[in-house]
Structure 1
Amino acid sequence: MISWVVINRLLFFFRSRLILCTYYGIKGVRVPTLNQLQKQIAKLESQANQIKKKEAGAVIARIKEAIAVYGLTAADLGLSAKGPKAAASKVGRKTAAKKGRKTKAGKIKFKDDNGNVWTGHGRRPQWFLDAIAAGKTPEQLAT
């Protein structure tokens, strides 16, 4: 699949050509239509896929060679029986904890009769403001 960078560069090129030709009154310069651009994009995508298929065999061979040389296992690569997503999610949780981000929600500090809850952090929810306007105190809503 062709990258958006390439598409944006093509579009920028043709737009700038059109603007310059319009500004300087140059006639006879052909600016491609959307359909023509889409055909060019499809052609480039097919070329990219062909190159990718050609290179994939060599890449797989290099990976197999490295696995054999270093004696790597699926677990070493983060590929467990559960699949690569399970291993990746574990890594993500570890980095989130390292960065000091909270991994679970805060404790509920306020609750009303309808089951609405609020931790007390951030902007006050509308149900809390409505309850205060109706005459309740924050202490009455505290859990």
Structure 2
Amino acid sequence: MKLDLNTLSLKELKDLQSQVAKAISGYEDRRKREALAELEEKAKAMGFSLSELTGVTTGRKRSPSVAKYANPANAADTWSGRGRKPRWFSEALAKGKKPDDMAI
């Protein structure tokens, strides 16, 4: 396949660039999956799982954080104390409430 890039418009060139980037990414992902499958097969043939040999567990699920604070106006609106402060929490602090007043 031979393309004359000089005859393509800027939009066509950018579309082609996008398609090439997607194709490269897809190729790399496919090769990684093939390598992983091959390694898992080899480990299985030797009586192990790949996660046993590498010490890496896959699919680890995190449990949600426990709520520590509740909105005084709506108790269903909670916050764990992690991450960005919710607006209701900041507004309550500005009105003179203390975090302990909103603790669950």
Shared fold (TM-score, shorter chain, > 0.5): no
TM-score normalised by structure 2 residue count: 0.43
Instruction: Select the structure that is richer in helix.
Output: 1
TM-score normalised per structure 1: 0.32
